[in-house]
């Protein structure tokens, strides 16, 4: 039974992937991409990696899908420019061949893994009690491989900066993205009023349970960002200008807390990003809390895009 289910899932993933590549038009391709992400999340669940499944559904399908949809809407009308920038047939074939070679290489590497596959899972699980976190994924991300996670956190800040630099000079420091009119009635208005109180609790809960169960800062932060975007699109909440100090602090709070705790490791433990066992849990919670805020702020700003309104006066 489960083999049939897995086979159906595998075929559906491949089918949706092929459809997404083959379909004409940007909009259907984005819809295909989102469906592909959701199917991929189901695959991760079947593989027992619920943390990855949550991330894939929240970030891979949800947040990325919204960003792509905004991009499609903004690209409308610029057909000549898009055609000029679209790679030619031979270029596409070359790119496809390169992808096929890399894919076959990766598949060969996975298939030829020794049996049983080399694993540090037992070792990682053995040292988990010293950290005070029960979820092995969080243990690996925050303690054993904390440096990788720190770099991921910093990447978010650079992504926001890269988007902001797209703004023309006179818009610098202005309000990011389009300004939506307030929807005083209608289904979107209702949803934007009813859902955020529930969504904010769920987002904080998902970030909080990351210590003991699947969840964490990226998944919870994405849910919080979705609530902010919902209120923004319905016109109920105005995004602050990018010059607002609070907004900038929200984006860098997580990486700053992370780097701060990392440096603290030189004083209270034996090096950068080292936690003394007695303080591991509170320090990890501090970083996760600040990171949840930063992930939410960064994702909202990525969806909104570069400043389009306000900004400093032209000289």
Partner 1 sequence: MSLFLALFSGITIAVGVVFFIAGTVALLRFPDPLSRLHALTKADSLGLGLIVLGLLPWAGGWLAALKLILVWLLVLLAGATATQMIAERIRRSGPPQ
Q: In this structure, what are the phi and psi dihedrals at residue 238, rounded to the nearest 5 degrees?
A: -85, 130
Both structure tokens of 252: 């860098």
Taking contact as CB under 8 A, which single stretch among the options 108-116, 127-135, 151-159, 192-200 is the one that binds partner 1? 192-200
Distance in angstroms (rounded) separating the CA atoms of residues 216 and 52: 11
Contact call for residue 197 and partner 1 (CB under 8 A): no
Minimum CB distance to partner 1, residue 63 (Å): 16
Shortest separation between residue 218's beta carbon and partner 1, angstroms: 21
CA angle 75, 192, 73 (to 5 degrees): 5
Interaction between residue 187 and partner 1 (CB under 8 A): yes
How far is the CA of 274 from the CAs of 211, 216, 259, in angstroms? 18, 20, 11
Q: Is the separation of the CB atoms in 295 and 218 below 8 Å?
A: yes
Residue with Cβ nearer partner 1 (9 or 191): 191
**Is there binding between residue 69 and partner 1 (CB under 8 A)?**
no
From the list 43-51, 141-149, 156-164, 189-197, the region that binds partner 1 by CB under 8 A is 189-197
**Minimal distance in Å, beta carbon 17 to partner 1?**
21
Distance CA 125, CA 15 (A): 37
- Beta carbons within 10 angstroms of residue 130's beta carbon: 15
Instruction: Using DSSP, state whether 91 is helix, strand or coil.
Output: helix
Half-sphere exposure of 248 (CA within 13 A, CB side): 9
- Supply the minimum distance, in Å, between the C-beta of residue 13 and partner 1: 18
Site size toward partner 1 (CB under 8 A) is: 8
Is residue 37 a contact partner of residue 60, using CB atoms and an 8 Å limit?
A: yes
By C-beta, is 198 or 268 nearer to partner 1?
198
Q: Does position 188 bind partner 1 by CB under 8 A?
A: yes
According to CB under 8 A, which one of 98, 125, 198, 268 is a site residue for partner 1? 198
Residue among 52 and 233 whose Cβ is closer to partner 1: 233
Residue from 9, 13, 128, 195 binding partner 1 (CB under 8 A): 195
Nearer to partner 1, 153 or 206 (CB): 206
Task: Give the interface segment with partner 1, choosing from 81-89, 150-158, 184-192, 293-301 (CB under 8 A).
Answer: 184-192
Rule CB under 8 A: choose which of 194, 244, 263, 268 binds partner 1.
194
| Short-list 254, 247, 282, 255, CA closest to 268 | 282
Q: Which of 237, 222, 239 is nearest to 176 (CA)?
A: 239
Span interacting with partner 1, options 36-44, 114-122, 185-193, 251-259, rule CB under 8 A: 185-193
- Evaluate whether 6 touches 44 at the Cβ level (below 8 Å): no
- Burial tier of 313 (Cβ tally within 10 Å: 0-12, 13-18, 19+): exposed
| Binding residues for partner 1 restricted to 218-257, rule: CB under 8 A | none
Q: Which is nearer to partner 1, 234 or 301 (CB)?
A: 234
Among 13, 23, 191, 269, binds partner 1 (CB under 8 A): 191
Distance CA 11, CA 248 (A): 44
Residue 191 or 253 having the CB closest to partner 1: 191
CB of 191 to partner 1, least distance (A): 4
Residues that bind partner 1 (CB under 8 A): 186-188, 190-191, 194-195, 198
């Amino acid at each position: 039974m489960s083999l049939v289910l897995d086979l159906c899932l595998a075929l559906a993933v491949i089918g949706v992937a092929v459809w997404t590549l083959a379909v004409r038009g940007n909009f259907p391709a984005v819809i295909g991409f989102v469906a592909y992400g959701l199917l991929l999340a189901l695959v991760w669940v079947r593989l027992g990696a619920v943390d990855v499944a949550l991330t894939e559904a929240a970030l891979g399908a949800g947040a990325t899908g919204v960003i792509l949809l905004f991009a499609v809407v903004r690209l409308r009308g610029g057909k000549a420019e898009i055609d000029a920038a679209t790679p030619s047939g031979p270029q596409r074939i070359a790119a496809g061949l390169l992808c096929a070679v890399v894919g076959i290489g990766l598949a060969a590497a996975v298939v030829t893994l020794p049996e049983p596959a080399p694993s540090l899972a037992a070792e990682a699980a053995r040292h988990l009690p010293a950290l005070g976190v029960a979820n092995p994924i969080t243990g690996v991300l925050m303690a054993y491989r904390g440096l990788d996670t720190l770099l991921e956190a910093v990447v978010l800040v650079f992504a926001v900066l890269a988007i902001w630099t797209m703004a023309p000079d006179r818009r610098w420091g202005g309000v990011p993205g389009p300004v939506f009119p307030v929807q005083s009635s209608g289904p979107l208005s209702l949803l934007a009023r009813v859902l955020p109180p529930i969504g904010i609790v769920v987002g904080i809960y998902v970030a909080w349970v990351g210590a003991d169960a699947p969840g964490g800062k990226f998944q919870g932060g994405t849910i919080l960002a979705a609530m902010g975007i919902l209120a923004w699109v319905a016109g109920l909440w105005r995004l602050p200008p990018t010059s607002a100090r609070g907004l900038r602090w929200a984006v860098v709070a997580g990486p700053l807390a992370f780097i701060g705790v990392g440096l603290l490791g030189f004083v209270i433990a034996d090096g950068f990003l080292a936690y003394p066992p007695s303080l591991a849990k509170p320090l990890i919670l501090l970083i996760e809390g600040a990171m949840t805020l930063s992930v939410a702020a960064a994702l909202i700003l990525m969806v909104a895009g570069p400043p389009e309104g306000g900004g400093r006066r032209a000289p």
